[in-house]
Structure 1
Amino acid sequence: MSSPMSKEVVWDRPEPPSRPSRVPLSRELIVRTAVRLADEGGLDEVSLRKVATALNAGPMRLYGYIETKAELLDLMVDEVYGEITPPPPSAGWREGLRHVAHGLRDAVRRHEWFIDLLSGRPHQGPNSLRHMETTLATVRFDDIDQVLGVVSAVMAYVFGAVRGEITELRTERATGMTEEQWQRASGPYMQRMLDTGRFPMLGKVMHESSDRDPVEVFESGLGYVLDGIAARHGI
């Protein structure tokens, strides 16, 4: 008997039996439609009613497959996790974690809303669990707490770096200005501030740093994290 706190998860709940219909439905079709709506307009475009409209189906029919919006979002996250290929079984910890990091970044670049749902407690869908299992398994340390620490450090970097990339993309769309255009527009003010002599390091950044491809920037930061892990554990 289940405890009072237990809850049937959507992955354990069977779909309604199929029946003849002008608009055939399935949980997979509902989720993929929701992902498409989110890709086109963000998470504000995702609701059971809007998905039903996109499928030309009555909203009440969807409740037989998915009971709440929270369930729908969980299923969408799991759908995207299913797109991320696991690292090769033969990969070492550094190669494996680099593979995972770039896989997550690529997934977020395809589905910007994905980063907004990667916080809080771990997701428990089958693809999410597979992703966690293969990520942890690539770090072959004897101490499981060290494994968790290493993976957590890398994921903290990945989520922070990618969230920054997506924030910049959204800012460009909202303002109509690229980062380079914004920097040029604020250039006279920044130059006056630098001329005070109070910000020598910022001056070096503005005048001496090079423009780099976002992938190169991401890889560089990831390298610092992985090098730090290697140094700490002497590997």
Structure 2
Amino acid sequence: MYVMDMPYGNGSVPVWERPEPQARAAPVPLSRAKIAATAVRLADAHGLDELSVRKLAKELGVGPMRLYDYVTNRAELLELMVDAVYGEIAGAGRDPEWRATVVAIARTTRTVALDHEWFSDLLGGRPHLGPHALAVGESTAAALSRAPGVRGIDDLQQVLGTLNAFLIGALRREVTERRTARATGADESAWQRGLGPYLTRMLDTGRYPTIARLVVDGAHLDPAETFDRGLAAILDGVTGDTRR
């Protein structure tokens, strides 16, 4: 157990602050970066449920116990994996204009989340505090702090919370739809066509006039357009009075 004194009490040293184990005279060199990259590749191919220390060790060509020199449990392994994915996002959003920065970060986050579908499963709980996650958070917060409607730390916290809630919801919905399409063999369009006659009969009753307007007159966008519209709605609000 690694323990350190912190301002709010004692706690275990995060994996980010522990030195790499000393190199061994072993056939297979290891590092936390290599472990994380291999684990990400396995999760991309088979999902988180199929990821285990034993399978990861086999893929790396080492014994399972050797991995525990680098990560003490599965939770630390997941943190390394998540931060490796944040590393793919960290280069986005270098525009001097605040809105362009946030849009770039959000779009890159979507792209990366679709490349690594398990990533969205690990969002929404406690914040991730790895170096790359912190870098993405800093870039996002710094950009939003320059938005016209953000006048102080309370506004910034509110806007960040709203943006994060949108991102998590949008990404999980899109990933869930992709998984459902694979599991059922029918994409969203095919599902809609199959239920079309039933929905028409229900709307013809006149009991659901607002839903009928949405179905008939509403825009039918692809996932990228839907994401961009939702993001724009959030950022449009940021340019106004966030206290209202």
TM-score range, shorter chain: over 0.9
Tell me which of 196, 201, 208 is aligned to 2:217.
208
1:147 aligns with 2:156: yes
1:44 aligns with 2:49: yes
Supply the distance in 2 between the matched residues of 1:68 and 1:91 (Cα, whole angstroms). Answer: 41
- In structure 2, the partner of 1:163 is 172
Deviation by residue 1:115-140 (Cα, 9 ceiling, x = unmatched): 11112221111111111111111122
Deviation at 1:233, TM superposition (A): 5.0
Tell me which of 188, 193, 199 is aligned to 1:190.
199
Supply the distance in 2 between the matched residues of 1:2 and 1:155 (Cα, whole angstroms). Answer: 31
Percent of counterpart pairs with the same letter?
A: 48
Tell me which of 218, 227, 230 is aligned to 2:236.
227
Number of residue equivalences: 233
Go from structure 1 to structure 2 and tell me whether the alpha carbon gap of 1:142 and 1:190 turns closer, same or farther (over 3 Å shift). Answer: closer
Supply the distance in 2 between the matched residues of 1:26 and 1:223 (Cα, whole angstroms). Answer: 41
Supply the distance in 2 between the matched residues of 1:95 and 1:29 (Cα, whole angstroms). Answer: 33
Query: Residues 101 and 155 of structure 1 are in contact (CA less than 8 Å); yes or no, is this contact kept in structure 2?
Result: no
Deviation at 1:202, TM superposition (A): 2.2
Supply the distance in 2 between the matched residues of 1:48 and 1:29 (Cα, whole angstroms). Answer: 14
Structure 2 counterpart of 1:223, which letter? Answer: A
- In structure 2, the partner of 1:57 is 62
SS of alignment partner, residue 2 of structure 1: strand
Unaligned runs of 5+ in 1: none
Supply the distance in 2 between the matched residues of 1:89 and 1:188 (Cα, whole angstroms). Answer: 48
1:174 aligns with 2:183: yes
1:91 aligns with 2:97: yes
Query: Residues 97 and 154 of structure 1 are in contact (CA less than 8 Å); yes or no, is this contact kept in structure 2?
Result: no
Supply the distance in 1 between the matched residues of 2:200 and 2:222 (Cα, whole angstroms). Answer: 25
Go from structure 1 to structure 2 and tell me whether the alpha carbon gap of 1:13 and 1:205 turns closer, same or farther (over 3 Å shift). Answer: same
Supply the distance in 1 between the matched residues of 2:218 and 2:151 (Cα, whole angstroms). Answer: 41
Structure 2 counterpart of 1:219, which letter? Answer: D
Supply the distance in 2 between the matched residues of 1:25 and 1:97 (Cα, whole angstroms). Answer: 36
Which aligned runs of 4 or more in structure 1 are off by greater than 6 angstroms?
A: none
Deviation at 1:210, TM superposition (A): 4.1
- In structure 2, the partner of 1:2 is 5
Structure 2 counterpart of 1:203, which letter? Answer: A
Tell me which of 113, 122, 133 is aligned to 1:117.
122
Q: Could you tell which deviates more after superposition, 187-196 or 35-44? A: 187-196
Supply the distance in 2 between the matched residues of 1:226 and 1:96 (Cα, whole angstroms). Answer: 11
SS of alignment partner, residue 231 of structure 1: coil
- In structure 1, the partner of 2:107 is 102
TM-score (norm 2): 0.89
CA RMSD of aligned residues (A): 1.8
